[in-house]
Structures are given as structure tokens and as C-alpha cells.
Amino acid sequence: AQSVSQHNHHVILSEAASLELGCNYSYGGTVNLFWYVQYPGQHLQLLLKYFSGDPLVKGIKGFEAEFIKSKFSFNLRKPSVQWSDTAEYFCAVNAGYGNKLVFGAGTILRVKS
């Protein structure tokens, strides 16, 4: 069965600090990878996605993620965070039959102004 691990449950950063959130998945075949964000009181929104091609994908709001197949990783990065990035971030993987997303446990990011 697929599984997704997110390394940190809580991250606290000051504004302008760089962000990297780790995500590892367990599946040996072709995978489709996603990062979703949930701002306080809002619904889950897609940040970015990887299907194939360039392993460095860019998403909304200055976020990017790098797919490293040999490490089964899909880490999320942002060079300079803002207070408005305070949210919970979920890594998700989809492999196999149908559009069956498996989510990681989530990382709560708090950015101090």
C-alpha cells in the first residue's frame, strides 16, 4: 500500500526565512505527486503537482517542489516565507487505479511577523 511521510508536524519560522518541508512516499512505480495547502478556516487548495517531465515544479504563491525519484521524495520549498503562508501543508501521492489520493499527516507552518 502507498504511504506518505511528512517529516515535521510543526514548523515555526520568521518572515523572510526559507522554507523546506519534507515529503517521502513509498511506491516503486509511476507516481503522481501533489502538495495541498489549507489556510485557517479555508478549504484544501492545490499548491502544485508533478506528473512527469522536469522534476522541479513551480506552483502558486512562489512555492516549488523537487521530485527526486531515487530518494522517493517530493520536498516543498519557498525562498522567503510571509506571514500569510501560515497554514497546514499536505503532501499527497496518487499511484495505481483511479484517482485515489493518499495524504501525509500534514505540517502546520506558523510564520511569525
Partner 1 sequence: DTEVTQTPKHLVMGMTNKKSLKCEQHMGHRAMYWYKQKAKKPPELMFVYSYEKLSINESVPSRFSPECPNSSLLNLHLHALQPEDSALYLCASSQGQGAEQPQHFGDGTRLSIL
* Site for partner 1, rule CB under 8 A: 32, 34, 36, 42-46, 49, 51, 90, 94-106
Choice between 17 and 95, CB closer to partner 1: 95
Nearest to 113 by CA among 43, 14, 46, 41: 14
Q: Compute the distance between CA of residue 40 and CA of residue 96 in angstroms, rounded to an integer.
A: 32
Rounded least distance, CB 79 to partner 1, Å? 24
Choice between 72 and 103, CB closer to partner 1: 103
Output the CA–CA distances (angstroms, integers) from residue 104 to 22, 84, 87, 99, 101, in the order listed.
10, 22, 15, 16, 10
Rounded least distance, CB 15 to partner 1, Å? 26
Choice between 14 and 45, CB closer to partner 1: 45
